[in-house]
A = this chain, B = another copy of it.
Amino acid sequence: MKKTTANIDLRKAGLKVTLPRISILEILEEAEQHHMSAEDVYKTLLSNGNEVGLATVYRVLTQFEAAGLVTRHHFDGGQAIFELDTGDNHDHIVCLKTGKVAEFKDEAIETRLMEIAAELGYTLSDHKIVLYGEVKDPDEKQTRLKITN
């Protein structure tokens, strides 16, 4: 099924096509909430019947990050959060009540950030914006979370 896609991505990254890597890619692709900690991925693997060690999950996620397949975030404390790098380099808004993460992208802001970096004498290579707030109407959370997808 999806293995074809995954295989291509992995080969392009110069990584052998192994079961743990395929499974992890698929999990990241198919997860409803696609912002996952290594532990989240690990638990999903287990409940899918995949026998993969947590160390391998970390190793694979780190390799994926190096290959540009995955992005690593450090939203608040504790664990790192990973998500598939779709190339659109979006930003995030975290609900302080539910912990859920939504995405957005705004050209005006990106343009302004580049100007600011230039004014400060920097060559800008990346940026991260994280907004913290609360969803006004929790019942519409689902919808709102999908708003930028």
Interfacial chain B residues near A108, Cβ < 8 Å: 112
Contact with B along A97-117 (1 / 0, CB 8 A): 000001010101100110011
CB-CB under 8 A from A121, the residues of chain B are 135-137, 140, 144
Residues of chain B within 8 A of A128, CB atoms compared: 128-130, 132
What range describes how many residues of A lie at the interface?
Answer: 35 or more
Q: How far is the CA of A128 from the CA of B102 in the complex (A)?
A: 15
Q: Interface-forming stretch among A11-19, A22-30, A39-47, A73-81?
A: A73-81
Inside 8 A of A136's CB, which chain B residues have their CB? 121-123
Residue contact A124 to B135, C-beta cutoff 8 Å:
no
Within 8 Å by CB of A124, from B75, B116, B133, B140, lies B133
Q: Say yes or no: is A125 at the interface (Cβ < 8 Å to chain B).
A: yes
Indicate whether A127 reaches chain B with its CB closer than 8 angstroms: yes
- Additional pairs, 15, CB under 8 Å, beyond known A74-B77, A122-B131: A72-B77, A77-B80, A93-B120, A93-B122, A112-B112, A113-B129, A116-B131, A117-B133, A121-B135, A122-B133, A122-B134, A124-B131, A124-B132, A128-B130, A128-B132
Interface residues of A (CB under 8 A from B): 72, 74-77, 80, 93, 95-96, 102, 104, 106, 108-109, 112-113, 116-117, 120-137, 140, 144, 147
